[in-house]
Structure 1
Amino acid sequence: MCVKVSEESYSHEVVVGDRKIVTSASVFGILRQQLAKNIGIKRIKGFLFHYGWEMGAKIASEVVQTESSLENLIKHGPILHIKNGHIRGIKHECSYELDEQRRIHSFFSSGTWIDSYEAEEHIKHLGVSNGPVCHTLSGFASGFMTTIFGEPLLSREISCVGKGDSECRWVMKPKKEWEKELQDEHELDYYNETPIVKELELTYDQLLDQKNVVTHLANFQNKLTEEIINGSDLQTLTAMVYKMIQIPIIVEDTLHRTITYSGLSKEQFLDYRDDMEVYLQETRLSTKSLLPFRKKVIKTSIQERLITPILLQKEVIGYCSLLYDEMENHHHEEDYLFLDRFANAASLILLNEKTKVETFERMKGNFLEQIVEGRLSTNEIINRGKYTGVDLKQKYYLSVVEYKKNQRSIEDDFLLQEQIFETTFQYFNEKKHNILVGHRDGNMVLLITNETIQKKAIYEVIKEYLDYLLKKFPQSHFKCGISQLEDDISQASRCYEEATIALRLAVKKHVVPFQSLGIVGVLINSKNISGIKLIAEQELGPLYNMTDPKILELLKTLYSFLLNGGKLEQTMSDLSLSMSGLRHRISRIESLLEKDLRDSDEMHQLLLIIKSLIAVGELTLD
């Protein structure tokens, strides 16, 4: 079978204006469904409104060519609604006043759409909505009325069958009135929505910008990685970053001390630094933290800073800042991406430097241990010392530091040891004191040359150091013993023994030089340990029992009483005893010793014996 359509079946009528296309409402329902699927249910609101607007405006522009009466035009709009199949009926009331220039003085219109095709199709394809759905009808009415009046008029649906209401009711007002009424809502956003084509163009431009940023960022990251691999220092890296982003940059430690900077003259840097000092002093009173743990913008009278921390092993070790005269001229969200990556690179460089320093310091600590143990000859010690930067031909002190933390586990003890070790060499490095630091018998050992501390007394140097440790580790307890000044490095073992003896006698004082021990030091230094024990056994009698806890309590009471020169009030305070309890203990001690503790000679001899026992490690009264 063959079927042919002849040319006579074609329409040869000339189309005047736009060609009319007849279709069913269900087709628009399917279109609505597909739009919701592809651009989202929220986005179709503006799309359909503008579609209806363009349709209403086009029809109105055709009608005004044959009809000039506003009253007739207003009546004609609903008729066109019905003819186009949008609705089956309408109730409409419109009141308006025009001024002498035929501009709207007042306008209000309201009505009801009967059997809206949009509501019916929306429910059929998408279900009941949370809000009005007659967007095409609202757009049609708005476009038609705006065109015939020549001023923006907007229709807003206030009830809709599509969201479960009994009827579709709407209100129309001038756009400026809606703007005042709905100024705190987002209802008017879709009226002014950008056409999809324009929006796609804008989106493309934004994606292109983002692509350029990502490309630049990737290039930036590659440059940073190359510099780190090549072993560049932080100053070189900072200069490279400034060259790439053309924004001044500064790197500081946690105390706001400058590590390096780039993109600023020395005068500018000093001005910015001083200005920041003022800012920190002012804010220090109202905030606990000087600078942030995460990114922050700080604005002062002459500068704006975008700041991000440098994190190393979950701790803030410094800050990177971009400096602006006026941040408004910059996209600081994009700048932050570069700053954040620079901060990560800076943390890697600082970690590398930290690792190198720690490795070197641990090597020096191992060297110190070999010196104290006497495993190296004098010449070898002096020659190796040159590589550490310490002149071991000079006179020196050995200090032994004991540190304790209440209720610590083995893990806590190890962590505390590492933290104190790191803090120690950082402290002396900042003071430009090149020393040897190591561990021995659970304590910290420091070798400090007299040349390093110059004219400062060793006691003051160590006291300041212990005060610093107490601030850094307030839950810990520190005490230190200091050897005598020695000029022969081969005698380091004896100096270590002197410092250890002084440490054992650091009871009421945190720092005890061996030189301050007097006759006790002489006794111990002479190695007369057996003699000391024999005298202690004779003089202390029943109290010379190191295994009985009750006897040890009496010895502790006696030692405190003797240290305080026989003052009961001070001893009572030191031991947290009542006066009656202390008197009872003193009376029992005198009874056991068969001695009068008010006799100054007896007191001095007993104190010397107990100190000697503590110094040789025979007795511990902490």
Structure 2
Amino acid sequence: MCVSIYEESYSQDVVKGDRKLVTSASVFGILRQQLAKNIGIKRIKGFLFHYGWEMGVKTAKEALQTETSLEYLIKHGPILHIENGHISGIKHGCNFELDGHGRIKSFFSHGTWFGSYEAEEHIKRFGHSNHSVCHTLIGYASGFMSTIFGETLLAKEVTCVGKGDAGCGWVIKPKKDWENELDGNEVLKFYNEAPIVMELEYTYDQLLEQKNVVTRLANFQNKLTEEIINGSDLQTIVDIVFNMVNIPIIIEDSTLRTITYSGFSEENFMELKADMEVYLEENRINHKQLLPLSKKIIKTVNHDRLITPIFLQKEVIGYCSFVYEDRKQHEEDYLFLDRLANAASLILLNEKTKFESFERMKGNFLDQILETRLPVSEIVNRGKYTGLDLEQNYYITVMEYKNTQTTIEDEFLLQEQIFETTFRYFNDRKYNLLVGHRDGHVVLLITNQTLMHTSIQKVIREYQDFMLKIFPNGNFKFGISQLGADIHQAPKCYEEACIALRLAGSKKIVPFTSLGIVGVLINSKNINGIKMIAEQELGPLYNLKDPRTIELVKTLYSFLLNGGKLEQTMSDLSLSMSGLRHRVSRIEGLLDKDLRDPNEAHQLLLIIKSLIAIGEITIE
């Protein structure tokens, strides 16, 4: 079958003005359903509100062309609502007061819609809602009333058939009234909601900005990786980063001492450093409290600082900072700072590994010297490779540190920490020396070239003070040898330092030269003679395997050191006077000697000191 229409079909009535479309409420229900499907049920609220607003504005403008009476227009608006099929009926009340210029002094309108097409269609398509659903109607009422009054009036649906209420109740208030009310946020949100196109443009701009940041970040990361692979040092890396991000940079160690910086003049840097020190002092912050685990923004008087820790082997070894004096921070700045901190960590790890490997090699060299495994010429040549002139005079120092650790792992960790701290301490002060580990002690070989115009005692005292700051619970003692002239005599100097350490007693630093006659008498050739004399003079007290006998020897030693003064000896040994007198009396009985006799006392003290020096007795 073929049907053809050869004549045009058209209305005889010429269309003038706004064309009217005949449709049903279900069409708007379908539109609502499709909008919800495409842009989401939450997003259609603002869309329908503005759709209703524009309809209300258009209707009000048409009404104003024939009538300007507010009373008439307020009554006429609901009639147009009903004629357009939006509702089937309305109950409406409006109270307002205008000033002499026709501006609103007070306004409040309320009412109820009956037979809302919007509520019916929503229930039909979606079921009952948890919220009011007549968004088009409140938009229409808001747009209509705002237009006829010439000021922004906003409607809110307080009850709704769409959420199971008996009717669709609403109120209308000026915008400024909603702004002052707690429940006004929802109304203002509908009114202020941006069109979808604007949201999409904003989203696109954000995505484009994020893409640019990701691209910059990838280029930044690639450049850092390339420089690290090429072996660039930390200063080179920092200079490159400053040129890329144009933000001044400071890198500090864990005690906030500056490692390097870029983007400042030296004068400007010193001013900012002083500014930071004032901040730390005023806030009573030390380096351990500054930034333990995460990024932080610090605001001082003259600058802001975005700071993040540099981790190495799960420990904070320093801090990396972006410094702001004039410009503002950006959120993505931390992404760049974080990658710089990671790069710094890799570089510092590499430097740490090279430095410690070299220092341990020097420590092995020191072992070879002390064991006389190398000829003098070889020692001198290898010394030049390490930067040491071993043809010069030298001292050997032995350091004892008390080990309170309970496991082998803890003991090893403490030893590594002490070694690393020792390396760093002397390296920071430009002291070139050999550091080794022997018989549970740290051994230092320091040449006169290293000491320059200072004394060995001063160097060791400053080193001891530093170690106590790092290990406040530590107990460090030092024995210092005599000045050695021939490097082949290093084993002898080592033994001197060990003897001085054994005789330290309550002293922390003991030079071998302070031992007097004991130091002169003791050497490897007369050790057996010392033991024979000790056995002869101490008699039953020479049984050094009996703990009770050792206690008596310690009492005797303290008594002789104090020149026979009972009060001082009692204090040193934490004994009562009666207990001390009993011990002294027993010792005199066992030895058959008068401890008050100066000759006897001097000889016994010399013997006990000699036994301590050769390691036969250990007295704390």
What TM-score does the superposition give when structure 1 sets the normalisation length? 0.92
Q: Corresponding residue for 1:241?
A: 241
Q: Retained in 2: the 8 A contact 1:29–1:118?
A: yes
Greater CA drift, 552-561 or 460-469: 552-561
Greater CA drift, 465-474 or 377-386: 465-474
Q: Retained in 1: the 8 A contact 2:156–2:187?
A: no
Q: Deviations over 1:385-442 (max 9, x none)?
A: 1111111111111111122232431111111111111100110111111011111122
Q: Retained in 2: the 8 A contact 1:182–1:188?
A: no
Q: Corresponding residue for 1:527?
A: 525
SS in 2 for 1:525: coil
Greater CA drift, 560-569 or 177-186: 177-186
Residues 1:441 and 1:63: Cα distance change in structure 2 (over 3 Å): same
Rounded Cα–Cα distance in structure 2 between residues aligned with 1:367 and 1:546: 37
Residue 25 of structure 1 and its aligned partner are, at CA, apart by: 4.8
Q: Corresponding residue for 1:97?
A: 97
Whether 1:214 and 2:214 are equivalent positions in the alignment is yes
SS in 1 for 2:289: coil
What is the root-mean-square deviation in Å for CA atoms of aligned residues? 2.8
Q: Retained in 2: the 8 A contact 1:86–1:116?
A: yes
Q: Corresponding residue for 2:303?
A: 303
Q: Deviations over 1:282-312 (max 9, x none)?
A: 3337997356653333333433322223222
Q: Corresponding residue for 2:554?
A: 556
Rounded Cα–Cα distance in structure 1 between residues aligned with 2:22 and 2:380: 105
Q: Corresponding residue for 2:511?
A: 513
Q: Deviations over 1:215-264 (max 9, x none)?
A: 11111111111111111111111111121122222223334433222222
Q: Retained in 2: the 8 A contact 1:406–1:475?
A: no
Q: Retained in 2: the 8 A contact 1:399–1:481?
A: yes
Residues 1:207 and 1:128: Cα distance change in structure 2 (over 3 Å): same
Q: Corresponding residue for 1:613?
A: 611
Residue 477 of structure 1 and its aligned partner are, at CA, apart by: 2.0
Q: Corresponding residue for 1:141?
A: 141
Q: Corresponding residue for 1:229?
A: 229
Whether 1:266 and 2:266 are equivalent positions in the alignment is yes
Q: Deviations over 1:487-521 (max 9, x none)?
A: 11111111111112222222211222222222222
SS in 2 for 1:500: helix
Q: Retained in 1: the 8 A contact 2:114–2:167?
A: yes
Rounded Cα–Cα distance in structure 1 between residues aligned with 2:599 and 2:28: 116
Q: Retained in 2: the 8 A contact 1:45–1:190?
A: yes
Q: Corresponding residue for 1:368?
A: 366
Q: Retained in 1: the 8 A contact 2:556–2:584?
A: yes
Q: Corresponding residue for 2:601?
A: 603
Give the AA of the match of 2:430. K
Q: 2:494 aligns with which of 493, 496, 514?
A: 496
Aligned length: 620
Rounded Cα–Cα distance in structure 1 between residues aligned with 2:557 and 2:48: 96
Residues 1:389 and 1:163: Cα distance change in structure 2 (over 3 Å): farther
Rounded Cα–Cα distance in structure 2 between residues aligned with 1:23 and 1:561: 118
Residues 1:72 and 1:273: Cα distance change in structure 2 (over 3 Å): same
SS in 1 for 2:446: strand
Greater CA drift, 398-407 or 120-129: 120-129
Give the AA of the match of 2:398. V
Residue 15 of structure 1 and its aligned partner are, at CA, apart by: 4.6
Q: 2:387 aligns with which of 379, 389, 398?
A: 389
Q: Corresponding residue for 1:175?
A: 175
Q: Corresponding residue for 1:53?
A: 53
Give the AA of the match of 2:320. C
Rounded Cα–Cα distance in structure 2 between residues aligned with 1:422 and 1:555: 39
Q: Equivalences for 1:432-451 in 2 at 5 Å?
A: 432-451=430-449
Residue 26 of structure 1 and its aligned partner are, at CA, apart by: 5.3
Rounded Cα–Cα distance in structure 1 between residues aligned with 2:562 and 2:123: 96
Q: Deviations over 1:571-618 (max 9, x none)?
A: 333333333333333333333333333333333222222222222122
Q: Equivalences for 1:339-354 in 2 at 5 Å?
A: 339-354=337-352
Residue 559 of structure 1 and its aligned partner are, at CA, apart by: 2.5
SS in 1 for 2:331: helix
Q: 1:465 aligns with which of 463, 466, 473?
A: 463
Over the matched positions of the two proteins, sequence identity in percent amounts to: 72
Q: 1:486 aligns with which of 484, 487, 490?
A: 484
Residues 1:406 and 1:498: Cα distance change in structure 2 (over 3 Å): same
Q: Retained in 2: the 8 A contact 1:304–1:326?
A: no
Rounded Cα–Cα distance in structure 2 between residues aligned with 1:315 and 1:10: 86
Residue 361 of structure 1 and its aligned partner are, at CA, apart by: 0.8
Q: Retained in 2: the 8 A contact 1:250–1:321?
A: yes
Q: Corresponding residue for 1:43?
A: 43
Q: Deviations over 1:13-61 (max 9, x none)?
A: 5554555555555555565555556545543332332222223223323
Q: Equivalences for 1:285-300 in 2 at 5 Å?
A: 289-290=289-290, 293-300=293-300
Q: Retained in 2: the 8 A contact 1:57–1:143?
A: yes
Q: Corresponding residue for 1:63?
A: 63
Residues 1:85 and 1:589: Cα distance change in structure 2 (over 3 Å): farther
Q: Retained in 1: the 8 A contact 2:405–2:411?
A: no
Rounded Cα–Cα distance in structure 1 between residues aligned with 2:112 and 2:523: 111
Rounded Cα–Cα distance in structure 1 between residues aligned with 2:557 and 2:441: 25
Residues 1:249 and 1:568: Cα distance change in structure 2 (over 3 Å): same
Residues 1:556 and 1:140: Cα distance change in structure 2 (over 3 Å): farther
Q: Deviations over 1:319-341 (max 9, x none)?
A: 222233324xx342222222222
Q: Retained in 2: the 8 A contact 1:564–1:571?
A: yes
Residue 348 of structure 1 and its aligned partner are, at CA, apart by: 1.5
Q: Retained in 2: the 8 A contact 1:283–1:290?
A: no
Q: Deviations over 1:451-497 (max 9, x none)?
A: 21123221221122122111101233221211111011111111111
What TM-score does the superposition give when structure 2 sets the normalisation length? 0.92
Residue 281 of structure 1 and its aligned partner are, at CA, apart by: 3.0
Rounded Cα–Cα distance in structure 2 between residues aligned with 1:199 and 1:607: 94
Residues 1:194 and 1:551: Cα distance change in structure 2 (over 3 Å): same
Rounded Cα–Cα distance in structure 2 between residues aligned with 1:580 and 1:185: 88
Greater CA drift, 527-536 or 223-232: 527-536
Q: Retained in 2: the 8 A contact 1:396–1:450?
A: yes
Rounded Cα–Cα distance in structure 2 between residues aligned with 1:563 and 1:25: 113
SS in 1 for 2:388: coil
Q: Corresponding residue for 2:79?
A: 79
Q: Retained in 2: the 8 A contact 1:284–1:290?
A: no
Give the AA of the match of 2:215. T
Q: Retained in 2: the 8 A contact 1:292–1:308?
A: no
Rounded Cα–Cα distance in structure 2 between residues aligned with 1:162 and 1:568: 101
Give the AA of the match of 1:426. R
SS in 2 for 1:268: helix
Give the AA of the match of 1:443. H
SS in 1 for 2:544: coil
Rounded Cα–Cα distance in structure 2 between residues aligned with 1:34 and 1:583: 106
Unaligned runs of 5+ in 1: none
Residues 1:562 and 1:131: Cα distance change in structure 2 (over 3 Å): farther
Greater CA drift, 163-172 or 435-444: 163-172
Residues 1:121 and 1:492: Cα distance change in structure 2 (over 3 Å): farther
Rounded Cα–Cα distance in structure 1 between residues aligned with 2:196 and 2:217: 30
Greater CA drift, 232-241 or 178-187: 178-187
Rounded Cα–Cα distance in structure 2 between residues aligned with 1:499 and 1:543: 27
Rounded Cα–Cα distance in structure 2 between residues aligned with 1:418 and 1:133: 72
SS in 1 for 2:82: helix
Q: Retained in 2: the 8 A contact 1:392–1:449?
A: yes
Q: Deviations over 1:171-215 (max 9, x none)?
A: 211101211234995652332111111111111112111111111
Q: Equivalences for 1:144-159 in 2 at 5 Å?
A: 144-159=144-159
SS in 2 for 1:251: strand
Greater CA drift, 185-194 or 106-115: 185-194
Whether 1:338 and 2:336 are equivalent positions in the alignment is yes
Give the AA of the match of 1:55. M
Rounded Cα–Cα distance in structure 2 between residues aligned with 1:376 and 1:506: 32
